[in-house]
Amino acid sequence: MKKNIDLTAEQKLVLFEDGTESPGTSDLNNEKREGSYYCVNCDEKLFDSTAKYESGSGWPSFYQSLPDAFETKTDTLLGYERVEYHCKKCGGHHGHIFEDGPDPTGKRYCNNGVCLIFKPKN
């Protein structure tokens, strides 16, 4: 498992200590170019830009991930059940999956932007 030694304190907090970035703070909220999103810790490709949409949540949102990109677990930190997802390659926490997304999946992968690197299509 490759780990990025150059992670910021906020990235470490979100990825490995169950933290969350403040809503509306990620530059990736406004990213509209074609490309792919990768885990900031291990550089695993997680999402294609075609699955990104504006959810109004304040975090970059996607209606589907790439196959086998994540593992999930139940999170009850806020007193109710949520589905939390982690990078399958490095175990870094990225966000939660909600059932209020658009077609065709109805899913909303609500991702902390500090956990992602966007690479534009060439």
Catalytic: which of 39, 87, 90, 110?
110
**Short-list 110, 102, 118, CA closest to 32:** 118
Tokens 């109004």, residue? Answer: 56
Residue at 88: amino acid letter: K
Cα angle 89, 105, 82; round to 5: 60
pTM of the model: 0.92
pLDDT of residue 1: 47
Is residue 37 a contact partner of residue 118, using CB atoms and an 8 Å limit?
yes
User: Is 39 among the catalytic positions?
Assistant: no
pLDDT digits (tens, 9 = 90+) for 13-67: 999 998 999 999 999 999 999 999 999 999 999 999 999 999 999 999 999 999 9
36 forms beta bridges with 48, 119
